[in-house]
Structure 1
Amino acid sequence: MAIVGPRRQSRESVDGPNRTGNGQGVTVMATDRPLLCGIDAGTSQIRAILFATDGRVVAHAAEPTPMRELGPGRAELDPEALWRITVSLLRRVAAEAPDAAAIRSIAVASVGEAGVLLDADGRPLAPVMAWYDTRATAELEQLLATIGFEQLHRITGLCPDPTFSLLKLLWLKRHEPELFARARRWLNVADYLAWRLSGEQATDPSLASRTLLLDLERRTWAASLLEATGLPASLLAPILPGGSPLGRIRPELAGATSLPDDCVVGVGGHDHVCGMLAAGADRPGILFDSMGTAEALTCIREAPLADPALGWDGFNQGAIELDRPFYYVFGGLPTAAAAVEWFRSVHGGLDHATLIAEAEAAPGDSDGVLFLPHLRLGSPPFPDPVGRGAFVGLSASTTRGALFRAVLEGIALDGANILGTMLRHLGARMPERILCVGGSTRNQLLMRLKATAYGVPLAVLDLPDATCLGAALLGGIAAGIHADLAEARSRLEIPVRLVHPDSNGDEGTRLGRQAIYATAYATLRPLHARLLDR
């Protein structure tokens, strides 16, 4: 990787259930070169992007994710609406492509934890609970009482919380027993879309890792957990390596979208993992910082860690498999860019540029204001299912600019806190390189604050669509365009810029600010619990 026309079918045949069982900057490319499509079903947006094999964007389409917020800890979306949007996006990118016949493959990345429950005819039985939906708190408490935290961590590598797929399934089993009795399959969101595209059902280890049902070391479904929770193994899809071919696109879908009928659908993966694969961060010694609506800091390992203390502090592990298996440890901030968007929303949707300019003009210490960005769940080392954010240090002179600077600094300090705790668990020194991707990397003030909080330069890849690109590369492997991921990445040309820590501050001030932040959540957590009467 260098870092520097078929007959159309009726819409009903595409948008109905599959019963077979089986605005970026656009560069016009030569039509004799293959194009790869990556789909990202994310928290805020669903995107479909066509890439040339060197990573350049050829066509782009996006729509907001049709999420319905139902109240604190509850959000869901209609799986049929998700599918209709995906089909529409594919129509649009195929129409924008210089030659739709050059589109050789598709693969899908998505959020983890969320999935679709299907009946015997492949019809969705219930809305998709958002990955961050925490309604299954009672089911988590029962699971911890019967199986225990350390046993769950030993098998799955996860810090159990109510968002994982297993808890969503147990919630449906308890609250919708008649509906659940008709269930025959649970598919992660990416796997559901890939099935609707190809007619074949499968998942990959990275998404299976987010279910709380994967035996991490063996990379198979955990029979002991299925037995203990009364769930049939048949409910879960086969696990295949990322980049495995599922088959060709369904003929009726090809006709309705102008995609070629020999376009191959491949196994995709978890959104953060797909971004990591595109960025080339899938080796030890690199920290991958994926900065989206949620933020994930990920380090690669050759084997999982058994120490339950890692889980107690809120860190999760997972498996990846392409031509070989490997593992990762990550800590996440569920509301990174989401905290920025929350702040914008309470100020009438004010544009980013105005807020950033005001924050640039604010004092370097945010006028003594500290922000805790835990607007939805806590982050390591405080895995709190009812996490709450806070502004601390307000005064009568506090300006909007100081508040917004504190929001950005809070995101940066939280990342540094996660990283410091992770490195202590891993017994590791600061990574040799920190690679950052995602839409938030375009906020230069945030990146300076983050580099200052980390105390080291950050390598920012000019790769705002890393997740889609990673999915597209996996699709290219499935179609035989790439022999493997290394060969696929060798064709990419991705510019990189270094962001250095603020030279105005000293090490003592940085560490002092970080120490204050590290104690703030622990101090406020019992107060938040009392406010929530929990």
Structure 2
Amino acid sequence: MKQSLLVAVDVGTGSARAGVLTPQGALLGRAEMPIAMNRTDANHAEHDSEDIWSAVCAAVREAIALAKADPADVVGLSFDATCSLVVRDANGAPLTVSTNGLARWDTIVWLDHRALAEAEECTATGHEVLKYAGGVMSPEMEVPKLMWLKRHMPDTWARAGQIFDLADFLSWKATGSLARSQSTLVCKWTYLGHVAAPWRRDFLATVGLEDLFEHAALPEAASEVGADLGPLTADAAAQLGLTTACHVGAGLIDAHAGALGVLGTFAGDVDTIDRHLALIAGTSSCVMALSAEDRPTPGVWGPYFGAVLPGVWLNEGGQSATGALLDHIIKWHGAGGEPVPAMHRRIAARIMELRAIEGQNFALRLHVLPDFHGNRSPLGDPHALGVISGLTLDSDFDSLCRLYWRTAVAIALGVRHILETLNTRGYAIDTLHVTGGHTKNPLLMELYADATGCTVVEPAAQDATLLGMAMVAATAAGLYPSLDQACMAMHQGGTERNPDPSARPRFDKDYAIFLEMLRQRQIIDAMS
């Protein structure tokens, strides 16, 4: 008997990735295709949604080929994507969101900050919806972007008939369904999934979006993550290289898919799921904490109901630049250069040598605040700046290694700051599940354990985000009766690293200095 197969698609900022997986969670084939981005201004970034769809189709076809799979065996498909905003007319044709006026650029990228002023206006309303967005509206969310679009591109707004989060757009391209995932609506559209009347139209009217439903084709109710949105259309099946027997599940925002891939195994024990934190770490870092009840936490997005698992609350924090910050340190330092993987490995190896020689005195008086691109959590301050204390005239390679090490320490202490803030709100986090590019950096993986005092789990899955989306696809295809059961059945386990007890005093002192530097920065900012 042939085995049923699943296809998972993960669309990031620069590429679309596809994987073919078994119902047990094994990855059989994986492919990646680049996607284009248009920058007309420092705060503007746009995608071409048709380019994204083409990249998705190419990645799926290649993954199928690499897996040596029969397309007829694929019974489930799901999409995750960045929280980017796709604008179409009533007939589904693209509408420009770019100041260059080209219709192909119909998608405002998640990282686009053109709507800073609109985000501040939303925050100033003090509306109830802000209680479920960390108390502050971010320009990365969709409501400020929609406000900007209506004000600055009235022709596009007037013609708009369908507006999607990117993951929902991909589901629409695949099935023709206008359904929207609870993951996208709760996290980015101020949809309150835990109440009987989830859309707060009074808030939308207050910020000038009283006509949003006329232009966005939004449903009154969101679809639970993993809900069956129907089979592929004939056109979509042909483009993807699949068949119309394949069903599509309501997807997620990309980081949330990673959280599902590493935390889904605890779905059957929601009362203790709050001991576990997902850390999706690469260029930037997202931290995801799940709980059985809502836990509002200032400076942390959420609490979001049903954004990852139906019936479960999510708090989402993050660090705006982590891998990108280490790259910057290498480029910035006179002994650095291009931050290619070989350079990171060379620095890590030399740090190990220097630490073996100098022990805990290595870079003892060098301290860093890692907020070079603002502080997303737990301060929620996009204007925060980085700080380095303890510089000398040294400019050789070893001085780069010292600065790199202390920057890595600061990144780990930033995670500790977030999780300790969450723990004041009822969490009891003692385990970090780390996925993403940081798993390839031995210094960071050591520090995530030692600097936080937590057990660190590195998933065995080759790609935890694709695994999470395969869980969604399996649910939509009916291979499991619920998303909870799919998660528990498909989990791949992982390797644990326990913190070194002898390192605790050193990092406790570093953390005390970290907090004092935050206080001193606040004083200096007030003085200046």
Do Structure 1 and Structure 2 share a fold, with TM-score over 0.5? yes
Range that drifts further, 168-177 or 62-71? 62-71
Instruction: Tell me how many residue pairs correspond in the alignment.
Output: 491
- 2:434 match: 436
Give the TM-score, by structure 2 length.
Answer: 0.85
- Would the aligned equivalents of 2:305 and 2:311 in 1 still touch at CA under 8 Å? yes
Q: Kindly provide the CA deviation profile for residues 38-81 of structure 1, in whole angstroms up to 9, marking residues without a partner as x.
A: 11112343211111112111110113443345554433322222
The alpha-carbon distance between structure 1 residues 172 and 324, as it changes in their structure 2 partners (threshold 3 A), is: closer
Q: Structure 1 residue 228 and structure 2 residue 225: aligned?
A: no
The alpha-carbon distance between structure 1 residues 43 and 527, as it changes in their structure 2 partners (threshold 3 A), is: farther
Q: Structure 1 CA distance, aligned partners of 2:238 and 2:44? A: 38
Give the TM-score, by structure 1 length.
Answer: 0.84
Q: Structure 1 residue 67 and structure 2 residue 37: aligned?
A: yes
- 2:72 match: 101
Q: Structure 2: which amino acid aligns with 1:168?
A: K
- Would the aligned equivalents of 2:29 and 2:67 in 1 still touch at CA under 8 Å? yes
- 2:313 match: 327
Give 1:440 deviation, angstroms: 1.4
Give 1:124 deviation, angstroms: 2.3
The alpha-carbon distance between structure 1 residues 174 and 124, as it changes in their structure 2 partners (threshold 3 A), is: same
Give 1:453 deviation, angstroms: 1.2
Q: Structure 2: which amino acid aligns with 1:226?
A: L
**Residues 106-505 of structure 1 mapped to structure 2, 5 A cutoff:** 106-112=77-83, 114-125=84-95, 126=97, 127=105, 128-145=107-124, 147-148=125-126, 151-154=128-131, 156=133, 158-218=135-195, 220-231=198-209, 232-234=212-214, 235=216, 237-238=218-219, 239-279=222-262, 280-282=265-267, 283=270, 284-285=273-274, 286-305=276-295, 310-311=297-298, 313-320=299-306, 324-343=310-329, 347-351=337-341, 352-363=344-355, 365-366=362-363, 368-397=365-394, 399-424=399-424, 426-428=425-427, 430-492=428-490, 494-505=492-503
Q: Structure 1 CA distance, aligned partners of 2:199 and 2:426? A: 30
Q: Structure 1: which amino acid aligns with 2:177?
A: E
SS at match of 2:490: coil
- 2:9 match: 39
Structure 1 vs Structure 2 CA RMSD = 2.7
- Would the aligned equivalents of 1:287 and 1:433 in 2 still touch at CA under 8 Å? yes
Unaligned runs of 5+ in 1: 1-30
- 2:101 match: none
Q: Structure 2 CA distance, aligned partners of 1:141 and 1:277? A: 31
Give 1:500 deviation, angstroms: 2.4
Q: Kindly provide the CA deviation profile for residues 216-236 of structure 1, in whole angstroms up to 9, marking residues without a partner as x.
A: 532722222222223222425
Q: Kindly provide the CA deviation profile for residues 291-338 of structure 1, in whole angstroms up to 9, marking residues without a partner as x.
A: 233322222222324x5xx23x34432121688422112221122233
- Would the aligned equivalents of 1:320 and 1:326 in 2 still touch at CA under 8 Å? yes
Unaligned runs of 5+ in 2: 98-104
- 1:3 match: none
